[in-house]
Structure 1
Amino acid sequence: MKALFSGLLLSGLLSFAMADATSAVPQRVGPVSNYGVLGTSGNQVISTKTNKQVMLRGMSLFWADAVGSQYYSENVIAWAAQTLGIDVFRFAMGIESYDSDGGNSEKGKILASYSYKSSPDVKIEQLDRMVKAAIENDIYIIVDWHSHRAEQEQSIANDFFGKMATKYKDVPNIIWEVYNEPVNTDMGTIASYANTVIGTIRKNGSKNLALVGTPKWSQMGSCGGVNQPNVGYVFHFYAATHSVNSYSGNVDNCMKGGNAVFVTEWGTTSADGSGTVNTSEAGSWTSYMERNKISNCNWSLRHATIGDETEQSAMFSGSQVLNNKTLLNGAKYTQSGEFVKKYLTTNKRSWADTLTAGHSGSCKFSNLTVSELDGSKSGVGKSGCSYTSSNEKVATIGTDGSLTIKSHGYALMTGNDGSMSVVTVEKIPEQSVSGLVSMTCTVTNLKKAGTCTNNYTGKSSSEYQFTTMVKSAEGGEITCTSDNPSVVKIEKAICSTSQCYSHKGEYQWIATFTGAVGLANIHVQIPAVSGFKAMDTTFVLGVVKSPNVINPAIFKNVTVEKNSVTELFPATAHTVPVTYTLSAEGYGVIDGTNFIAGDKDASLVVYATSEESETYAAVNQSIVITIGLGGELIDGISPRTLRNVGIQGRIQNGNLMLTAAHSGFAKVQVYNANGKDLLGEETHYVTAGTNVFSLKGYAHGMYYVKVKQSSVSMTIPWSNK
C-alpha cells in the first residue's frame, strides 16, 4: 500500500500471554486442517493434501509499526477468525525506514525503531506470536516482506527467510510473501531476487506456497520468471484507483501464462488509503475474484483515526485501539469495514462440516461448539453408539451419550460406525486491565512530585495512579490490596486534581507511598463475569534507596602517562565517604583524590565502595586505568556481569538514565502500552555507575521500558510526550 503514517501510540490493555509457536496446537477446525500445506498447480493455488484448488479470504494487518502493532494480538486474530470468518491474515513486516515509494522523504515513513533491519529480534518474536495465533485458530498466515525495494535487501531477506523456513518448515499454516510491492523494479530483477530467496526457503525444508510481488506496486504489468516450485504472483488493487476494466486484464494475462495469482492486499478506497470508498468498483472486484477463485486479503485490520489523520481503508471507525473481544464486539465499522465485513461473513464457511463430510453414519451428530464453562452436556452422543475422542484432554463422550468438557480446543469424535463429528470447546477469555505493571520509586524521586508520583486526590503528592480502571474492560469489579501498607497503601478514591485529566471526578485505584523503603505486593482480584474468567494476579510497587554514583566526569575509565598525577577519586558521593582500592600494587598509588602512576605500562582496576546511607544505596563501582601503553588487566580482573546486581533507572528527556552497581551487559526492551508487544530491544555494555542511552525514535504515547542485567530486572512506565 502506498500510504503509511506513524501516529500516536494509544493505550491498550495489559495481557500476560507469551509467544510459543513451537508448542501451539489448533483450538478449532479451520482451513488448515482441511487443506494442509498450500502449493500451486498451473495457474491455481491448491491444497497439497487434496490436490484441489482452494480460495482463501482474509485480512491484512497494517504495517507492524506504532499504529499497526496494537492489532498484532492473539485476541484480535481469534476474534477475526471466529466473527469475520477469515481464512488467512497477513503479517506486514516493515523492513527499513523509507517512504511508500522506497525513497527517503518523510511522508509515510515507517519509524526505524519498528523496522526489521533495526530490531530483527523484536520482529521475529512478534512473528512467532502471530504464527502461534494462526496455528491455534487453524488459519493461514502470510509472512510478508513488506518492502518496496527488496532487491536491495537481498542479503538480510535471504537470511530472514532461511531462518524462518528452518524454524517453521513443518508448519502448514505458513505462506511466504518474499516481496510486497516493487516500485520501479523490472520483473527480471524481481525474479532474480525471488529465485535466490525462495531457493533458500526450499533448501531449508519449507515447501509452503511462496508469493512474489510484481512491478509498479504489484499491479502485475508482467509476471513470471521464478523457477521454483509452488510459486504464485502478487496483485494489489484499490477500487477507487484501479478499476476492473483497466487492471483485470493484467491478472488474466498472468494466469493465461500458467501462473497462480494471490491478491495479498486490496482496498475499497484510493491507493493512499484515503478518499471516497468506491463500493461499486469494490463489488466488481470481489465478484471477479470469486469467479476466478483468487485468494485475497483486505487492507487493513485496524481503527481509522490516529491523531488528526484518518485511514478510510481501515476496518473500524474511531480512534480507540480495539484489541480484546469485548471492544471488538462493540466496534463500529467504517464504510469500507461494513463492505468488507459483509463480504467475509457472507462467504464464511463451516470448516468442521467440511472436514467431516463423507464420514456419515447413524452415530454422527451435528458438529457442536460449547464453552469451557459448560462442564458437561447430556444427549450429545447417539443411543447405542460409542465414540473415540481424538483429544481426550479436551472432551470425551460417555456410554450414556453425555459430553464431558475438560479443556479448550477441539476433538474429533469417531463413532463405532466410522462416522465423524467435531466438538469445539471455546476457551474462556481472560479479563483485561491496564496498568498492572511493577514499578519502584527512589527515595530522592519520591520527594519530587511529578517524577514517579503526583497528587491525584488532594491528600498527598506521593500518590501513584497505577490504573484508571475500577472495572475490567469486561465489567468485572476490581479489588486491590497491599500486603505491606507500611510502604504502599492502596485505596479506591475520587481523582480530584488537574493531574487526573479526563478522569477527574471518577473513582480510581490510587497507591500512596509512605516514604518508607521497601516493597509491597499489590494483589488484584476480579470475579468472573459472563463469558470471562476470574482474574487473580500480583504486581509490585515500592521505594528503594537512590543509587549513589561517584561523579562520572572524574571517576571514569582513563589512560594516563607513566609517572603522572591525575585527579580521579572524589572523597565522597552525596556526602558519603568513598573507599578506593587498586587491583594490584606496584603500578601506582592512591594519594587522596589523586592517582600517581608508576613507570610501567599496565592496566589496573580501581574498585570504589561505600556504606549505604538513609537515602542512598552503597557505592560499588569500578573503573580501568591504563598506564602508558597498557597491558592485560592485572590479575585477570576485568569488568564482568555479576549475579544479583542492583540497577536503577529513570527516563528523562527521551533518555534512559541507567545506574548499575557493576559493569556488565544489560538488555533494554521497549513495550507498547498494553505491556505485551515488544517494539524495540537493544543490549548495551554498562559501566558501574550512571549510563545514558537514547530512546529517541518512538512515537508519542505510553510505553513500558524493561531493563534486565543478569538476574535483576525493573520496569519503568514511560509517557513519551
Structure 2
Amino acid sequence: MKKQMKVTLIVIVAAIIVAAAIYIVRYIKSGNDLLTPVGTRAEFVGDTDKYPSMLRTKGVQIVNAEGEQVVLKGVMVPESHRLYDEKNFDEGFYKKVFDMGGNVIRVPVDPAEYKNDDYYMWRYLDRIVTWAGESGKYVIIDWDYTGNPIDGSGDEMPDISENPLDYSAEFWKNTAEYFKNTPNVIFEIYNEPVGMSDSEWKRCADSLIGVIRDAGAKQLIIVGSPDYCYDLGWLDELGETNNNTAFAVHVYPDKVFWQKFISGYVTSYPIIVTEWGYTDDDVKVKNEKLKGTRNVFGIKFSSYLKKHNVGWVASSYDYKTEPSMFKKNYKNKTKWGEFVAELLSEDE
C-alpha cells in the first residue's frame, strides 16, 4: 500500500512539473504576455503628459489643446482577443501599425469577448492606449455592436443575453471612468445602428453620451448613424448637438451615391469616416458589395475627404476581415493595402 501511495505521489508531482513546464514555455513564447490578469486599477495610469492632447470639436473641425486642426487618419486593427489567439497581441504588432503612418487607430471591442473576460480593460485596452500614446497616436475605442440597441435584433448581433443598450451603458460607464483623464482616447459609442428610426437612435445616442459625461470623461465622442452607419439624414432633426461630439459615416463601393448623401453634412457637422475601403481584383471577395478599384472608388473618395479635411479610418489592417489590407498573415499587402499605405505616407 505504501509503495502504491509513493508511486501515486510521484505521478502527481511529475504531472505538476510537466504542467509548470508547459506554462513557462507558453510564457516565453508569448513574449511574457500570458493571458492572465495584469493587475487592475480604478483609473488609467501612464505618462500622459507625453501623449497627444485631448481633442475637441470647433464648428466642423476637430482641434487639439492648442486649437490646431487635427484631421484623423489611420486604420482599424483586429479585435484584441483574436490577435492574442494568433500570438500577435504585443507591442511589436502595434508598432508595425503605427509605422504605416497616420495619427489614429480604431480598436473594435467585441461585446461577447468583453463579457467573457472580466479583465479585458486591463489586459487589452490599457496596453493599446499606452503603446499608442507613447507613439504619439490617438485611439478610437469602438464598441462593436451592429444591430438594434433597443430590442437586440440584427443578424450580426453577438449571442449574449444582455440588452444591447443596457450593456452599452455599462461598458461606457466602466470605460469612461477608467480613461477619463487619458487625452489620446476617443469614444465611438456604437459601431452600426440598424433597424430603427432616427428619433429612436437619437434617444439611444443621447443616453450613452450622458453615461460617458456623467463618468467625468470630456474626450471627443463619435456617434454613428442609422442604416449601418451610413444615413446621416438623422442629423437634420438633431437640433442642438451634444458637447464635443463628432459623427461617423461608413462608406463602401456599393454606396454609389455617397457624395450626394454626405455632401450636405461635411460642411455643417464634424464628420469622421470611421470605416471605408474596397476589395480589388487581386484577392477573392466574399462580400460582393466591397468590390471596387483604386481609380473608380479609392482616388475619388479619398480626394473628396482631403478636399473637405474629413478624417478617416481605413478598414482593415487585417488579412481576414474584408476589405483586407493583407493577403496572408499581415504580409504582402493587397492593392487596397498599398493604396492605404500611400495615403498615410503623404503627410509623413
Question: TM-score normalized by structure 1?
Answer: 0.38
Measured in 1, the distance between the counterparts of 2:194 and 2:119 equals 28
**DSSP-derived class of the 1:193 partner:** helix
**C-alpha distance 337-169 of structure 1, shift in aligned 2 (>3 A):** same
Match of 1:317, SS state, is: strand
Letter paired with 1:74:
E
1:84 and 1:141 map into 2 onto residues whose CA distance is 15
Q: Deviation at 1:187?
A: 2.3
Say if 2:254 is the partner of 1:241: yes
Amino acid at match of 2:149: E
* Contact preservation (8 Å) 2:74, 2:103: yes
Letter in 1 for 2:187: W
Give distance in 1, aligned partners of 2:76 and 2:174. Answer: 23
Rounded to whole Å, the distance in 2 between the matches of 1:273 and 1:84 is 27
Shift of 1:209: 0.6
The answer to whether 1:24 aligns with 2:46 is yes
Q: Which secondary structure does the structure 1 equivalent of 2:316 belong to?
A: strand
Q: Which runs of 5+ in 1 are unaligned?
A: 1-11, 97-114, 305-310, 323-330, 349-721
Tell me how far apart the structure 2 counterparts of residues 299 and 191 of structure 1 sit (CA, whole Å).
26
Question: Secondary structure at the residue paired with 1:159?
Answer: helix
Hey, what does 1:290 align to over in structure 2? 306
- Residue 73 of structure 1 and its aligned partner are, at CA, apart by 3.3
In structure 2, C-alpha distance between the alignment counterparts of 1:65 and 1:167, rounded to whole Å: 20
Q: Distance in 2 between matches of 1:334 and 1:144?
A: 25
Report the count of equivalent residues: 292
Instruction: Name the SS for the 1:223 alignment partner.
Output: helix
1:265 Cα deviation (Å)? 0.9
Equivalences for residues 77-92 of structure 1 within 5 A = 77-81=94-98, 83-92=99-108
Question: Is 2:308 the counterpart of 1:342?
Answer: no
Maintained 8 Å contact 1:162/1:201 = yes
Give the letter for the 2:140 counterpart.
Answer: I
Q: Secondary structure of the residue that 2:205 maps to in structure 1? A: helix
Whether 1:272 and 2:321 are equivalent positions in the alignment is no
Map 1:408-447 → 2, pairs under 5 A? none
CA distance in 1, matches of 2:71, 2:221: 15
Residue 134 of structure 1 is matched in structure 2 by 132
Please provide the CA RMSD for this pair. Answer: 2.8
Partner Cα separation in structure 2 for residue 343 and residue 248 of structure 1: 20
Correspondence for 2:193 among 182, 189, 203: 182
Give yes or no for contact 2:315–2:322 (8 Å, CA) kept in 1.
Answer: no
CA distance in 2 between partners of 1:184 and 1:54 (Å): 33
Residues 254 and 289, structure 2, Cα contact 8 Å, conserved in 1: no
More helix, by proportion: 2
* Partner Cα distance (1:337, 1:163) in 2: 34
Match for 2:271 among 238, 261, 266?
Answer: 261
Distance 1:285 1:94, change over 3 A: same
CA distance in 1, matches of 2:122, 2:259: 35
Residues 194, 181 of structure 1: alpha-carbon distance in 2 compared, 3 angstrom cutoff:
same
* Contact kept in structure 2, 1:273 and 1:312, CA below 8 Å: no
Q: Deviations over 1:574-597 (max 9, x none)?
A: xxxxxxxxxxxxxxxxxxxxxxxx
Q: Does 1:173 align with 2:184?
A: yes
State the one-letter code of the partner of 2:137: I
CA distance in 2, matches of 1:223, 1:130: 33
The 1:72/1:17 distance shift into structure 2, 3 A limit, reads closer
1:166, CA displacement in angstroms?
1.4
Closer, same or farther in 2 for the Cα pair 1:276/1:194, shift >3 Å?
Answer: closer
Q: Please report how far the alpha carbon of residue 52 of structure 1 lies from its aligned counterpart in structure 2 after TM superposition.
A: 3.1
Write the distance in 2 (CA, Å) between the matches of 1:271 and 1:295.
28
Q: Which residue of 1 aligns with 2:57?
A: 40
Asked if the contact 2:44–2:181 (Cα under 8 Å) also holds between the matched residues in 1, the reply is no
Partner of 1:313: 323
Alignment match, 2:117: 119
Shift of 1:67: 6.1
Could you report, residue by residue, the CA deviation over 1:510-540 in whole angstroms, capped at 9, with x for unpaired residues? xxxxxxxxxxxxxxxxxxxxxxxxxxxxxxx
Q: CA 1:166–1:64 in structure 2 vs 1: closer, same or farther (change >3 Å)?
A: same
Q: Any residues of structure 2 matched to 1:489-504 within 5 Å, and which?
A: none
Q: Indicate yes or no: 2:83 matched with 1:61.
A: no
| Higher percent of residues as strand | 1
Partner Cα distance (1:46, 1:127) in 2: 24
SS at match of 2:304: helix
- Residue 51 to residue 69, structure 1, CA distance change in 2 (3 Å): farther
Report the 3-state secondary structure (helix = DSSP H, G, I; strand = E; otherwise coil) of the residue aligned with 2:119. helix
Identical pairs, percent: 23
- 1:80/1:177 Cα in 2 relative to 1: closer, same or farther (>3 Å)? same
Matches of 1:78 and 1:266 in 2, distance apart? 22
Q: Which letter maps to 1:343? A: L
For 1:657-696, list aligned pairs within 5 A: none
Distance 1:150 1:139 in 2: 31
> Which whole-Å CA distance do the structure 1 matches of 2:85 and 2:55 have between them?
27
> 1:39 is aligned with what amino acid?
R
Q: Flag the structure with more relative contact order, 1 or 2, with Cα contacts below 8 A and sequence separation at least 6.
A: 2
Structure 1 residues 300 and 251: alpha-carbon distance in aligned structure 2, compared to 1, 3 A threshold: same
- C-alpha spacing 1:312/1:91, structure 2 compared with 1 (3 Å): closer
After superposition, the Cα gap between the structure-2 partners of 1:313 and 1:126, relative to the gap in structure 1 and judged at 3 Å, is same
1:590-619 Cα shifts (integer Å, max 9, x gaps): xxxxxxxxxxxxxxxxxxxxxxxxxxxxxx
SS of residue matched to 2:146 = coil
CA distance change for structure 1 residues 275 and 192 in 2, over 3 Å: closer, same or farther?
closer
Letter in 1 for 2:67: N
Tell me if structure 1 keeps the 8 A contact 2:148–2:196.
no
Q: Hey, what's the Cα distance between the residues in 1 that align with 2:254 and 2:286?
A: 6
Q: Deviation at 1:134?
A: 1.7
8 Å CA contact 1:219–1:235 kept in 2: the answer is: yes
Query: In the alignment, which residue of structure 1 is the partner of 2:155?
Result: none
Runs of 5+ unmatched residues, structure 2: 1-27, 151-163, 280-284
For 1:186 and 1:46, locate their aligned partners in 2 and report how far apart those are by CA, in whole Å: 31
1:191 & 1:333 partners in 2: Cα distance?
39
User: Structure 1 residue 197: deviation in Å?
Assistant: 1.3
1:197 aligns with 2:208: yes
Q: How does 1:565-580 map to 2 (within 5 A)?
A: none
Q: 2:266–2:310: 8 Å Cα contact kept in structure 1? A: no
